[in-house]
Structures are given as structure tokens and as C-alpha cells.
Amino acid sequence: MRPQSRKYNIICLSNQLWDYPLWTNKRHVMGRLAEKGHSVLFVDPFLNIGRVFLKHVFKKEWTLRRLATRIKKDFGVTIYTPLNAIPFGYKATELYIKKINKISENIFDSSRKTLLWIYNVEITDIDKYIKGIKHDFLIYDCVDNYSAFPRYDTADKKRKISTQEKYLAEKADAVFASAPGLVEKMRKFNPRTFYTPNVGDYERFKNTLSYKNQIPEEIKRIPEPRIGFTGAVDEYKFDTGLLKKVASDYPGYSFIIIGPMALKEREASKKALGVEDLNNVYYFDSRPYDQMVKYTAGFDVCIIPYQINEYTVGGCFPVKFHEQLAAGIPVVVTDLPAYAPFYDVCYISKSHNEFSQNIRRALQENSPEKVKERQKIAKENTWDGKVNNMIKIINSLI
């Protein structure tokens, strides 16, 4: 059998729900692996029977069959969502391991090798899952600098999550890392660490500019030029001070923010962003991912105003970056290491002042030639390319 034709059984322990509203890279990777003929069991993080679960029920995401089995299928992937109703953690762990093994026996081809593909380094009793779930090859796919998350706000909390991550990385037969800082960090634990940078959905966004006549009405009525950001407004990443500065610098430009807000204990609003006094800032909550091409078509410049801190420098490479290049739209970013190879197709800003100046430059310098240059790079950084590279690495090690 040729290496590229090998097919695997894959058990993915995810750190985000399959139905997470922003269409995560887990879905991209696992969905494409299923398309390529691999059998995929995607295990959601444990969902407590409470507000979040009820929200899913009200959205009719849980049929009676799914309630009975905790299983559904999507994009050729089997999704298992453990519902956490058991008060004793160790009993829940035993139950979930048995359930995962049982589902695997029912859906997998026993002649294939099984990969245990872990994103969820924060999972309780991770050592028990690694020992208890039947597999032939262990992968740690590192996509975040977890110890820099705000929830690990004490030395003891940081130590515990760092120890758990070190254990997983050392146990893994291969470690994938999505940003330069993560590669450097993981190679201290495992020499079989490979840089698999984040990429974008080129096919979805490559025709963005042809949607200029289908821009949503709520965007169309906002004055041009429109400077847009899409994605989660997380307090530990999004630089609200930078947004306020650029919006103040350019009162004649419209700044549009689209995405869920995760600012601590605040309502999703312009006030939470600290820009309630700026009439040229427009905030919209999440919009469906399959409509984002039309929203992006309404932007003249895309911005990613991320802070420079331990989290972003150590492990951040936004998926939106390559999707905005695929759209052909100018992209202005802060100076994160992940952008360095793309300096000639984006505007990397080393300070707030430079970020502000780059917005004006991006508008002035845009041209059909620059659109083609951006799209050429985006076409070289796709999910299919990333998945093919991952399988090539696995084939060389297994």
C-alpha cells in the first residue's frame, strides 16, 4: 500500500464543541480527514447539563436519538458529546473511556491503525484517557499557549496546566504546533515536534470580491471606507485601546467589529469595548460563518488588532489571516511572530502609531496586482495542504 493511500481510524479529543459557532480548525482538519477516507470519531469537551446544554436543545441541535445516544454525524464525522451529569469525576472518566472504546469498536475498521489525536490538554484525568482509550499512535495537536490563559491566574494553576501539557507532549508519538512560539515550547518536551501553521479556507473566500453586490444591508448602510474585524473579542487578545486609537485617528472611516464578546463580566456592546463615544465604530455579535464571505466583501481593509503579550506572542496564529488574504483584501496586523513570513502581503505594525498609519497605507496602496499577490499566498496555505502534510508526517513515523 502506498503511504498516501493509508487510511486510519482517528479518535479526536477536542477542546471545543463541534458546533462551536466560529467553525474551528478542529472541524476543518477532522472534516477533511473524513473526506479523505479516514474514519473519525470526534469527542466534544464534556457538556454540563445546564445553561449551555439547554441553549443547544432550544436550537434543536439535540434530537431524541442524539439525547439517547449522545451521538450524531456531520461531514462524515461521528460526533460524541459526553453529557456531564455525574458528580464524581473519576466515575465519569471511567464511563466516558468505556463509551469511547465502545463507539470505536462499532464504527472503526479493525484492520486499520488507530490514532488518538488530542487537542484538549485541559481534560481532567488526561493520563487515564491516554492509558484507557485503545490506540496505536498518540498525537498532541498544540494550538494554544494554555498556561497564558487568564483563567490560570496563579502560580499553582499555571504549574498544574504546564505539568499536564508536558506529560501529554512527552507521551506523544508526534506533536503538531500551529505557531512558532508553540514549536519552540513543545520541542523542549518532544523532538518529534512539527510546525503545522494555521491556514485558511481559500476555496470559500477566494471569490469574496464578486459578492460586492450581495453585502448584507446592515453593512451596506455604513459609510465607506469600512475597516473590519471578524472573530471573538477576547479580553486577553483583542486590543481595545488600539481600536479606540485608530477610530479616533480616522473619524471619517467606519470601524466594524463582528463576533462574540468575551470581556469579563460585561455585556456585549460598544460600551464594553470602551468606544461608546465614537460614532464611527459599529459592533455586531456573531454572524453565521457561511455568510462571512458577504460580510467580508463589505470591508475595504481587514484588521487584526491583537495585543502583544505572553499568549499572543507565545502561540497565536489567527485562522482569519489567510482567509482575508484569500479574499484579496488588505490586512493590517500587530507584530506577532506567525506573520513574519508574510511581510510582503500584509501590513505588520510594531506600534499603535504604525498600525494606524498602515490602515491609511492599505487603503491608498490597494490595487489589482496586490489582490493577486495576497490570493497567491492564501492559495499556498490551505486546509487540504495542512492535512496532507500532517498525514505525510504520521506516515513517516508510524
Segment 289-314 shows an average pLDDT of: 94
- Phi–psi pair at 126, nearest 5 degrees: -60, -35
CB atoms within 10 A of CB 260: 13
Q: Domain 3-199+382-397 belongs to what topology? A: Rossmann fold (3.40.50)
264 in helix, strand or coil? coil
Q: How confident is the model at residue 56 (pLDDT cuts 50, 70, 90)?
A: low
Edge-first strand order for the sheet with 226-230 is 281-284, 254-258, 226-230, 301-304, 331-334, 347-349
Distance of CA 99 to the CA centre of its chain: 27
Q: Check residue 361 and give its pLDDT.
A: 97
Residue-wise pLDDT tens digits, 313-351: 988 999 999 999 999 999 999 999 999 999 999 999 999
More reliable by pLDDT, 307 or 62:
307
202-379 has CATH 3.40.50.2000 classification: yes
CB atoms within 10 A of CB 88: 8
Q: Do domains 3-199+382-397 and 202-379 have the same CATH topology?
A: yes
Q: Check residue 108 and give its pLDDT.
A: 96
The angle at the Cα of 150, spanning 147 to 155, to the nearest 5 degrees, equals 55
Task: Among 16-25, 267-276, 364-373, name the most confident range.
Answer: 364-373
Residue at 294: amino acid letter: K
Segment 124-130 shows an average pLDDT of: 93
Q: Specify the pTM.
A: 0.89
Residue spans per domain, the chain: 3-199+382-397, 202-379
Checking DSSP bridges between strand 301-304 and strand 347-349, what pairing results, if any?
unpaired
Q: Which three cell numbers stand for residue 39?
A: 474514519
Flag whether pLDDT at 124 surpasses 50: yes
Q: Check residue 49 and give its pLDDT.
A: 67
Q: Check residue 150 and give its pLDDT.
A: 85
Alpha-carbon radius of gyration of the chain: 22
Residue-wise pLDDT tens digits, 178-206: 999 999 999 999 999 999 999 999 999 99
Q: Check residue 383 and give its pLDDT.
A: 93
Q: Check residue 263 and give its pLDDT.
A: 58
Output the DSSP codes for 338-398: GGGGGTTTSEEESSHHHHHHHHHHHHHH--HHHHHHHHHHHHTSBHHHHHHHHHHHHHHH-
Q: Check residue 112 and give its pLDDT.
A: 96
Residue-wise pLDDT tens digits, 201-222: 999 999 999 999 999 999 999 9
Q: Check residue 87 and give its pLDDT.
A: 52
Q: Check residue 23 and give its pLDDT.
A: 44
Q: Check residue 90 and give its pLDDT.
A: 59
